[in-house]
Homo-oligomer: A and B are copies of this chain.
Amino acid sequence: MNTDSDPDDSAAPAPALNSVWTRPQRRQKEQLTRERIVAEAIALLDEEGIDALSMRTLGQRLGAGATSLYRHVASKDELIELVTDEVYGELDVPEITDPASWRLALHVNAHSLRQVGLRHMWLMNVLGQVGLNYLGPNVVSVTQRSLAILTTAGFDMHEAARAMSTLSSYVIGITSAEAGWLSALRRRGMSEQEWYRVVGPQMASAAGDAGLAEIYLEELKKDPMETRLGNFVYGLDLILDSLEIRLAAKLAADQKARAAASQ
């Protein structure tokens, strides 16, 4: 179009410094895919926390522009939905055939959920906000397999759903608190002992009663990670104990009914 000093044959229509060399050869680097985006988002979330996840920084880490992501993901909310489902795939939900092993299976299941929640500290946040609105394949599969544990144990579908709701509410609730606590510590760059030392006196003074502070001071002596695990197991066993009792009662009632029917 315009006659510039460039000896190139085909004239550049735009600003002149757009030769073959300066121009980025885009398709060289691997393509942007939904899988790559989700994987990188998880990495970013794990490293920097949920506040650090922005489309621009995520795009940067992928060597792409921010808006390019929208070709593969409709919105940030949808991305979070995808990411959540992906992480749900890490859950360990044992399949059982022997009805008697239901308790162990639930134990493993609960611990697995807690571990995943602590590995990805943003997860519990998201789960709390969303309830059970996400219907990704992994979420659905996990729910089904979890329910299967309880139904093969002998619960009917109705009670199995309620029991599962109780159990996962508890695990999500307590792990959410744990993750929030740990990431708050990380943000401030403190260890748990340091924090207790700082806030213990403050707490003791705020409370006329010394009862609360007493516990905190006691925690100082033990390994905090171990303490939290102990607390988790305490509540878990509380729930499982009750389930065991109800199951026994139900099985006895069923057997009685069957005996009465056959007679």
Binary contact readout A243-261 vs B (1 if CB under 8 angstroms, 0 otherwise): 1011000000000000000
Compute how far the CA of A214 lies from the CA of B156 in the bound complex, rounded to whole angstroms: 12
Cβ of A112 < 8 Å from any Cβ of B?
Answer: no
State which residues 198-216 of A face B: CB under 8 Å.
199, 202-203, 206-207, 209, 211-212, 214-215
A177 pairs with B128, CB closer than 8 A = yes
Q: Is A170 an interface residue (CB 8 A)?
A: yes
Chain A binding surface, main DSSP class:
helix
The number of times this chain is found in the oligomer is 2
Q: Are B166 and A234 within 8 A (Cβ)? A: yes
Tell me if A173 and B184 are in contact (CB < 8 A). Answer: no
Looking at chain A, what size class is its interface with the partner chain?
Answer: 35 or more
Residues of chain B lying within 8 A (CB to CB) of residue A246: 238
Minimum C-beta distance from A223 to chain B (A) = 16
Given A128-B173, A166-B238, 13 other A-B contacts at CB below 8 A?
A125-B129, A128-B180, A130-B184, A140-B203, A143-B212, A157-B211, A157-B214, A162-B231, A165-B174, A166-B239, A170-B170, A235-B239, A239-B239
